[in-house]
Structure 1
């Protein structure tokens, strides 16, 4: 998706995203957990579908984010739960990195899941 399409909002600087940690942000009234692994940056709905707890409170590892409350894990690319007790996916959003800044479009989901 090009920068001309969608509704892109600057979320943070790329340097604000540390390996292994998520950053919780609110973008256009949508709670988003931002994560970085290597050269990839992800934006995922910041609410566990099981307990409605902020995913940004959990650890990021192997392209997954863990819900700190009960240990459910979610794939950062697909939003699919990879570990119980969660069974419902969460929304994932498109991300672009431009000149050291991270932009997110929360009006579009990559996986077709409607945010809670």
Structure 2
């Protein structure tokens, strides 16, 4: 059975930005797209486990702040080396001005 976790308010995330969300010993990144949609990935880069929270978000990509690896946050796909392993992604829903992720 899916477990939906209340992660943040929709207003907590600026358009084309992300926030870090820690839950049960894990780190997630929650994004708000230019189309006002929300997405969730693992919060650590797959290259050297660097937190993505300080990364640069442009359109639908997140760039790791350490070595500039890039990912498509909608699919988790690694787009530029040194990142070559995709990020895990998680379902997201919004209700009543809140963002929920399924873990």
Q: How many residue pairs align between the two structures?
A: 102
Q: Unpaired runs of 5+ in structure 2?
A: none
Does 2:99 align with 1:102?
yes
1:57 pairs with 2:54: yes
Which of the numbers 32, 36, 42 marks the counterpart of 1:45?
42
2:15 corresponding residue in structure 1: 19
How far the C-alpha of 1:28 sits from its partner, in A, is: 2.8
For 1:52 and 1:74, how far apart are their aligned partners in 2? 14
When normalised by structure 2's length, the TM-score is: 0.93
Aligned-partner Cα distance in 2 for 1:28–1:93 = 15
Of the structure 1 ranges 56-65 and 87-96, higher mean CA displacement relative to structure 2 is found in 56-65
Deviations for 1:16-69, whole angstroms, at most 9, x for unmatched residues? 011232201112322001110122101110111111101111011121111000
Aligned residue among 50, 71, 74 for 2:68: 71
Provide the alpha-carbon RMSD of the alignment: 1.1
* Structure with greater strand percent: 2
Task: Compute the TM-score of the two structures, normalised by the length of structure 1.
Answer: 0.83
Query: What is the CA deviation profile of residues 48-92 of structure 1, one whole-angstrom value per residue up to 9, with x for unaligned ones?
Result: 111110111101112111100010111111111111111011100
The CA distance in 2 between the partners of 1:103 and 1:29, in whole Å, is 17
Work out the CA distance in 2 between the residues paired with 1:62 and 1:27. 26
